[in-house]
Structure 1
Amino acid sequence: MKDLDLMPANATCTTCPYCGVGCGVLASPDGAGRLKIKGDPAHPANQGRLCSKGSALGETVDSDGRLLAPQIDNRSASWDDALDLVATRFKDTIAKHGPDAVAFYVSGQLLTEDYYVANKLMKGFIGSANIDTNSRLCMASTVAGHKRAFGTDTVPGTYEDLELADLIVLVGSNLAWCHPVLYQRIVAAKNARPNMRIVVIDPRRTATTDIADLHLQITPGTDVALFNRLLSEIHQQGAVDADFVSKHVTGFSDTLDAATSADAGVTGLSHADLTQFLNLWVRTEKTVTIFSQGVNQSAQGTDKVNAILNCHLATGRIGHPGMGPFSVTGQPNAMGGREVGGLANMLACHLDIENPDHRALVGGFWSAPAMPEQPGLKAVDMFRAVSDGRIKALWIMCTNPAVSLPDADFVRDAIAGCDFTVVSDLTNTTDTARLADVVLPATGWGEKDGTVTNSERVISRQRGVLPAPGQARHDWDIIADVGRRMGWQNAFDYSCPAEIFREYAALSSLAAAQGKDFDISGLAELSNSEYDALRPTRWPVSRRDRPAGRMFADGRFFTATGRANMLPVEQATMEPSTPRQYRLNTGRIRDQWHTMTRTARAPRLNQHYGEPFLEIHPEDALALGLKPAELALVTSDHGTAVLRVLITDRTRPGTVFAPIHWTSEYASAGRICTVVPAITDPVSGQPDSKAADVLIAPYAPAWYGFAVSTTKLDPKTDYWATARHISGWRSELAGLQTPENWEDFARALFNTPNAEISSVIDPSKSTARIALHENGVLIGALYAAPEPVAVARSHVAALLGDPGSAALAGRPGADQPDPGATVCACFNVGVNTIVSAIAEQNLLSVEAIGEALEAGSNCGSCRPELASLLNATLGQAAAE
């Protein structure tokens, strides 16, 4: 791996704010308001690796667009006025309507200390359990499955198991894009041990299938049937660990009976592929099954989790090196939020809200005046309660539910109609913040100070490197200040995150005494300086004699019996879509994160995919009359989206895929969750984000356009999507009616009435190319045509700020090669550059491309695309 830049000696060790891998980062100020970034070679999670998003963190921390002072009704206000208003409105609402009339909706991007204080305020002092988190959308089914099987939400293994396994099965996980550093650790392990086998179970062919020995392109939603069939095969081949089951497991017979009656035919897999998978799994002792959102985000997510756990429990493949079920979390502190009780149905330290002894323990520890006796409202139900008026005061922290929740238009309208809404965030321009009565400026990554927990139970420090901009404050500090203003001075009299962490660690000792797994009591007496210096540490860290490595190696679980539970699960009936409907799968792309609040600020992260898109199979595109790069209208009973058409056989016929990231800030109609119904798993409450039935039709504009500009545009066109570029902004446009005068249209679009214009307009072809100059430099250019515009986008964007005399051509001259669309975001290497290098330098491997261009030599998440380009280019050369 090559460094992107040399790192000064004064680097701060911190932790990446993106996925649950929990990579260590070395960050140091560059003197210009940004940070120089490098992977921390001493961190056990990433060992110096970073993905494209992590590598670009330094480009996301400037104060441009940040909220610098509190706002009340869109006007700047003092902190005293804003927090007095928040405290008063919450107190008055509770007094008039009871504690369940208020709610907090929090986030896996909060630090553990933030989470702890919010949970304490809501559950211990307000007296309601109406605090839930966007982790409900991410890993709630795993939490429920773990609790049903193990008694607690325990992740058994460590990342080392991924390198020690002889077989890795990836279920519903595009690890190459969503957890790239773990993917690269597996790639390295497979290169070192070529006999390692990898199976990918996913309806789509993704970047992760590049390393698969077997790709099972399963019918969406049929995971329970597959793993029930596996359990039956385990029994038939005599692979049950009878001693382990008899001593440490309950429910085996009933679970096996349910599995034996299952029909694996619904999976749609061929007999050969199914048999190969069953034999691989059954005959390979050192097997790790990794699962993620494709399992969790389902109306049957919890049963899917338990179907996987059943197979590992039946074989005793749990708690030992190189084997076990492994849930990889989607957010940087989803685990920390689960541990601290951030979910509406949990208490801190994995204690249970419905257990009176646990409530009494936590309430007594906090000296709490009131503790809720029942779980609060989970995310989807919470916003239904906001809509119908049961919740009258709402505080949303560090998340964007008007985009991310299913039935997003309903959620947006519910927030807008709430009596009183508070949002804490970095900016007031998110879809959610625009709806709030009060917006509070919070610190972000690079400024925050506290801890996070990653997918392998490692607690890491996130440390501040930059000063907070303007009047921004830490989330724990804001929440605690409101708690004091509501009358609970002593309970929320915190001066630093170390103090909160010590309290939390002390509480974990009491939880451990109740037989729970979570125990960091060994850290309860850390001094402030020891907390500041804390290195990555896997829990449990106990005052007792408890190992901190793999869990369950001794066969002891955290249930009332001390045994693990196998649970009979049945495959739900798969309702067929009507002939006109398509099954929509949603998910992430490589270079963006959640709703783009942070990643969209980094120009290089916008170059791989610059606008929302719809992956559709060629057969379906032909039937619908859709051509490449045209626009598609996607509709359901809940909403609509307009997306760029990407025709690919990566999807199965009858299924389509769209990314979750785009918001109203960056696209006119890219909020894909508007079309997703709010169907949830009955056990976990997690929404099914992978199976919406949608209608698709051509969106037929009169014209398509592409524009580059030095400033962000505010298009009034029927369709638009905009993204930062290193020189300014680039925008895709479309309109249902052709402008009468293209030059007038361009002046209005760029808001430059006095700019000098040069243009080439052909009315007979309905095409226009317009360049706008001020003071001799290019400030904007527009290209329009009746079909998707063919223009060298990266080239014309790079002309901004220069004389730009060649802008009207829309493509570079012979002496200025067009790099093409970005493939490697780490080093900004385009597709044309790669293809030319392969041909001209006779490059024969992905490694050779890395040596020649650096592409693929940092995070490696573009390596599958490099391999595809290599094969296509070499194949074309051979054909010629």
Structure 2
Amino acid sequence: MRHEAGTATKTTCPYCGVGCGIIATPRPNGSVSIEGDPEHPANFGRLCSKGSALAETLGTDERLLYPQIGGRRAAWDEALDLVADRFSAAIAEHGPDSVAFYVSGQLLTEDYYVANKLMKGFIGSANIDTNSRLCMASSVAGHRRAFGSDTVPGIYEDLELADLVVLVGSNLAWCHPVLYQRLAAAKEKRPEMKVVLIDPRRTMTADLADLHLAIAPDGDGVLFAGLLLYLANSDAIANGYIEQHTNGFKQALDAARGLDIARVAQETGLPAQQVEAFYRLFAARERTVTVYSQGVNQSALGTDKVNAIINCHLATGRIGRPGMGPFSVTGQPNAMGGREVGGLANMLAAHMDLENAAHRALVQRFWRSPRMADRPGLKAVEMFKAVADGRIRALWIMATNPVDSLPDADAVAAALRDCPFVVVSDIASATDTLRHAHVTLPSAGWGEKDGTVTNSERRISRQRAFLQPPGEARPDWWQIAQVAQRMGFADAFSYAGPADIFREHAALSACENEGTRDFDIGLHAGIEAADYAMMRPFQWPAREGEEVSRLFAAGGFYTPDRRARFVAVSPRRRQVCDTRYPMVLNTGRVRDHWHTMTRTGKSARLSAHLAEPYGELHPADAQRLGVGEAEIVHVESPHGAVLVRALVSPRQQQGSIFVPMHWTDQFCARGRVDALVPALTDPVSGQPALKNVAVRFSRFAAAWYGFAVAAERPRAEDFDYWALARCVGGWRLELAHGAPHDAPEALLRNMMASHPPNLEFIAFHDERRGTHRVAAFAGTRLLGALYLSRTPVAVSRGFVVEQLARAHAEARSRFRVVAGRAGADRPDPGATVCSCFGVGANQIAAAARAGCNSVAAIGEALQAGTNCGSCRAEIRQIVEAARPAAAAE
């Protein structure tokens, strides 16, 4: 339903696993006000740039509005009947394992639960896996090996209470900004708190770090195995905790023998003094939290790295107490909720074990299911290989975009092209995956759907609807239940709403539990719809008469003997490079975009910070290969190639290149970076190795570069390199091409999707320098402008973008558009640094030269950094760089 204008709804952010509370209020003009919920215990009112811009992503343009079969509009009954018929036929002819679901951490727990129940308990296969396999599977596997369950022991408050916070493979400032803000605020109050960052790149998170260990890729396992040995030799071991609550310590220690500081330094590429400094900090500070994320998990060694970290916390007894513990922070809003209901191919609902016959029997009795999967299904990478070789005949993809996000992405696209039957449920009408669907189903999106999500600290919160779903969009749980009913399972899938599903989910978690399993929310097993509607955030376990926030301080693990297990990690660093592919590719996220940009790509504000895919490389590598700043780089592996903008930066390690994972064929020419990544996975978790890939790169020989703006989405497919982004008033476009260009006026006319016949062109040409600038007007309105050069185009992009929304009645105004810069009275603001307030780098630098010599002073003068705070590290860098210039003036 759509709430009345002025009615505030408390809900939860749909981005990362922090799980921030949001207050959404529809306005009379149809827009929505977004603000942080000051009462939500995850964020206490804070929001990052993405959360703050949520209202800008809620439009119904580029939405799937009705079901389609083969590209034609269809009624829901026809589409659902076809899905049920084709899945039933495949099962009848080829068996239950011939079908699969590939689901997503963007689903709500209720959606996840129904999908898992249908696949594992009624179809009888475990071929359901999730894109959370790509971000959190190694953490899950490490937890299960050590704790006997997929349990995160700590809570967010521990980051604020710790005396030492170790960030491993986590760019917290950009990927979990609200947690970064909480940590930064705590450190400001207690300067004696120490922060160590372990990351090959000097990311923006390093701004907060007292020590940055620029470790070699995949060196984390060696570093923490060496730390275990150091702790034992330094008498920093909690012998009582080890004896009472653990097994396997001797074996884990034996596996680390020989890893003295010198050997660790050699293996990790770190100076021995830095290794020793980190080890001393860890040994001396009892209140220590180790936060780890994709840099640890997305590795062929990911599970061992997780257990190497956990081993150090078990050995010191630093777990489950205030300010202590290993802490996995999840990438998606409901990665943990999916894990709770068995969304992974090797797990059962309610954290029960698929390999445990008693657990399978319990779930089957509870569901009254006809057949129960009795062995693990295909994990994500395996699943799409099975699609390719014909073992999977029918596939349903829900709320995710595997053609861009899975490794060996071109092979994934080819597999979907050849699959006999593909169903895609989504909100977006144009994705790289959707083009391969035989049936597309329109799903309700954030703000329209109703259910629960679980964040990284085991906190379950409500996502509530405050908008009417557009067109014929329907919730995912409803779609799955309707197909289940048509497959003959009506009684088990006759849910009236998400409250019914949550009630069943809670009841299953408590069924025959009695404290033997970690996940138990039996307190809510009888919840009524009215109470579900008003349910406040809570943490699990949530049993009657029991309140628990942290776990394992006094043991009580979920192994058969209730003891934690040390895992004997055989540390090694995976070498991937050779003479043909001598560089290391690292993939990851940027601050203001999310996944494959189906949501954030709709926001002009979020695209202003980084508007195109880039490759961040060290100056020495750029010089060696003749790559200049802002030129185009060709990055290649045995699996594929991409073209990205060069970002030359000393923050990057020599011999490596970083490329973000967000850009797709919808937004650029050749930017799908996961096409370069091999389908190599961790042998325990099945998580792909997305962070350590052998590549080579070279300068793309561009005959010319271009920058354009257009009032309507421009055509750019004919160029070797193009990258498209929304801006206020239209679109912005970066270009490069290897062949000479046509007449600039003709190029601009062809790029504009539609235009009136009375276009007026104003142009400037300098043939000798190869510089061309042309703008097209209709009346007083700018419809498009194009700037060409033999080198990367130097115009004020911020100024040019602004002109799409301005009237241009005077000749002087039009000439300024062609010039690509404002007059002397309007200085160029520079590249956007603060997305919240649209403040540019030049503005910050000018304020710094004028005496604003701190981030706080810049905030007072320009507001930059005063909302979400994600840009504060960048602001500090600009301020520090401006100080020598100011001193010299």
Deviation at residue 838 of structure 1 after TM alignment: 2.1
What is the SS of the residue equivalent to 1:299? coil
Deviates more, 1:41-50 or 1:770-779: 770-779
Mapped pair 1:738 → 2:740 = yes
Counterpart residue number, 2:766: 762
Q: CA deviation at 1:853?
A: 1.1
Residue in structure 1 matched with residue 730 of structure 2 by the alignment = 728
Check conservation: 1:170, 1:291, Cα contact below 8 A: yes
Contact 2:576 2:694 in 1 (8 A): no
Return the offset for 1:497: 0.3
Which whole-Å CA distance do the structure 2 matches of 1:696 and 1:308 have between them?
A: 34
Unaligned 5+ segments in structure 1 are: 1-6
Query: Is the counterpart of residue 849 in structure 1 residue 858 in structure 2?
Result: yes
> For the Cα contact (< 8 Å) 1:351–1:511, is it kept in 2?
no
Q: Deviations over 1:749-780 (max 9, x none)?
A: 11437222121122222221111111331110
- Aligned residue for 1:338, secondary structure, equals helix
My pick for the range that moved more, 442-451 or 258-267, is 258-267
Question: After TM superposition, which residue ranges in structure 1, 4 or more long, deviate above 6 angstroms?
Answer: none
Aligned residues: 872
**Deviations along 1:359-385, whole A, 9 cap, x unmatched?**
111011111111111000000000000
Distance 1:107 1:634 in 2: 29
Helix, strand or coil at the partner of 2:804: coil
Q: Is the 8 A contact 2:5 2:27 kept in 1?
A: no
Q: Structure 1 852/325 Cα, relative in aligned 2: closer, same or farther at 3 Å? A: same
**CA distance, structure 1, for counterparts of residue 596 and residue 422 of structure 2:** 20
Q: Secondary structure at the match of 1:414?
A: helix
Task: Note closer, same or farther for the CA distance 1:181–1:8 as it changes in structure 2 (3 Å cut).
Answer: farther
C-alpha deviation, 1:737, in angstroms = 1.5
**Deviations for 1:256-288, whole angstroms, at most 9, x for unmatched residues?**
111123341201111211111111001110000
**Match for residue 798 of structure 1 among 794, 799, 802:** 802
Could you report, residue by residue, the CA deviation over 1:223-264 in whole angstroms, capped at 9, with x for unpaired residues?
111111110111111111111111110000011111123341
Instruction: Tell me the SS of whatever aligns to 2:786.
Output: strand
Q: Aligned runs of 1:562-601 on 2, under 5 Å?
A: 562-575=562-575, 577-579=577-579, 581-601=582-602
Q: Confirm whether residue 74 of structure 1 aligns to residue 78 of structure 2.
A: no
- Name the CA distance, whole Å, in 2 between partners of 1:576 and 1:694: 9
Q: Secondary structure at the match of 2:46?
A: coil
**Deviation, structure 1 residue 832:** 1.6
The residue number in structure 1 matching 2:822 is 812
Task: Look up the SS of the partner of 2:513 in the other structure.
Answer: helix
- Give the superposition deviation at 1:354: 1.1
Percent identity, aligned pairs only, is 57
3-state SS of 1:799 partner: helix
Asked whether the 8 Å contact 2:719–2:736 carries over to 1, the reply is yes
Alpha-carbon distance in 2 for matches of 1:606, 1:692: 27
In the other structure, the counterpart of 1:351 is 352
In the alignment, is residue 194 of structure 1 matched against residue 199 of structure 2?
no
What residue number does 1:151 align with?
148
| CA offsets 1:355-409 (integer angstroms, 9 cap, x no match) | 1111111011111111111000000000000000000100000000000000000
Kindly indicate whether residue 547 of structure 2 is the aligned counterpart of residue 547 of structure 1. Answer: yes
State the alpha-carbon separation in 2 of the partners of residues 376 and 879 from structure 1: 66
Other-structure match for 1:872: 881
Cα deviations across residues 564-607 of structure 1 (Å, max 9, x unaligned)?
00011012353252345210000000000000010111110001
Aligned equivalents of 1:740 and 1:224: distance in 2? 54
Does the alignment pair 1:217 with 2:219? no
Distance 1:528 1:438, change over 3 A: same
Q: 1:652 to 1:238 in 2, by over 3 A?
A: same
**Cα distance in 1 for residues equivalent to 2:788 and 2:472:** 44
Residue correspondence of structure 1 range 95-244 to structure 2 within 5 A: 95-244=92-241
CA contact (8 A) 1:33 1:62 kept: no
- Quote the residue 2:618 is aligned against: 617
- CA drift at 1:511: 5.8
Q: Alignment partner for residue 834 of structure 1, among 837, 844, 854?
A: 844
Pairing partner for 1:750 from 749, 752, 756 = 752
Distance 1:268 1:696 in 2: 23
1:829 maps to amino acid: V
Aligned equivalents of 2:96, 2:760: Cα separation in 1: 62
What amino acid is aligned across from residue 339 of structure 1 in structure 2?
E
How far, CA to CA, are the matches of 2:598 and 2:513 in structure 1? 38
TM-score normalised by the chain length of structure 2? 0.97
SS, match of residue 512 in structure 1: coil
Deviations 1:401-420 (A, max 9, x none): 00000000000111111100
Q: How does 1:145-544 map to 2 (within 5 A)?
A: 145-262=142-259, 263-264=263-264, 265-510=266-511, 512-513=513-514, 515-543=516-544
Q: Answer whether contact 1:452 1:462 (CA < 8 A) is retained.
A: yes
Instruction: Tell me the residue number matched to 1:4.
Output: none
Q: Indicate the larger mover: 337-346 or 767-776.
A: 767-776
- Is this contact kept in 2: 1:49–1:181, CA < 8 A? yes
Q: 1:428–1:434: 8 Å Cα contact kept in structure 2?
A: no
Residues of 2 paired with 1:671 and 1:31: CA distance? 40
Give secondary structure in 2 for the equivalent of 1:575.
Answer: coil
Q: Secondary structure of the equivalent of 2:829?
A: coil
> Structure 1 residue 741: deviation in Å?
2.2
Please tell me whether the aligned partners of residues 225 and 256 of structure 2 are also in contact (alpha carbons under 8 angstroms). yes
- For the 8 Å contact 1:512–1:518, the answer to whether it is kept is no
CA distance in 1, matches of 2:466, 2:546: 35
**1:628–1:645 CA contact under 8 A, matched in 2:** yes
> Which stretch shows the higher mean deviation, 673-682 or 830-839?
830-839
User: TM-score, length-normalised on structure 1?
Assistant: 0.98
Provide the aligned C-alpha RMSD in A: 1.2
CA distance in 2, matches of 1:569, 1:592: 36
| Distance of 2:742 and 2:557 partners within structure 1 | 73
Contact 2:576/2:692 (8 A) holds in 1: no
Residue aligned with 1:642, SS = strand
* 1:52 and 2:56 matched: no
Equivalent pair of 1:39/1:49 in contact (CA under 8 Å): yes
1:3 aligned partner = none
Q: Distance in 2 between matches of 1:35 and 1:256?
A: 56
Where 1:560 maps in the other structure, the secondary structure is coil
Deviates more, 1:870-879 or 1:202-211: 870-879
Give the residue type in structure 1 aligned to 2:174: W
- Matches of 1:877 and 1:541, distance apart in 2: 58
Structure 1, residues 155-179: CA drift from partner, whole Å, max 9, x if none? 0001111111000000000000000
**What SS is found at the alignment partner of 1:257?**
helix
Deviation at residue 819 of structure 1 after TM alignment: 1.7
Distance (whole Å) between structure 2 residues aligned to residue 302 and residue 797 of structure 1: 46
Give a deviation string over 1:660-684, Cα, whole Å, max 9, x none: 0001000000100000111100000
For the Cα contact (< 8 Å) 1:421–1:438, is it kept in 2?
yes
Q: Which amino acid aligns with 2:203?
A: T
Give the conservation status (yes or no) of the 8 Å contact 2:134–2:687: yes
State the one-letter code of the partner of 1:236: N
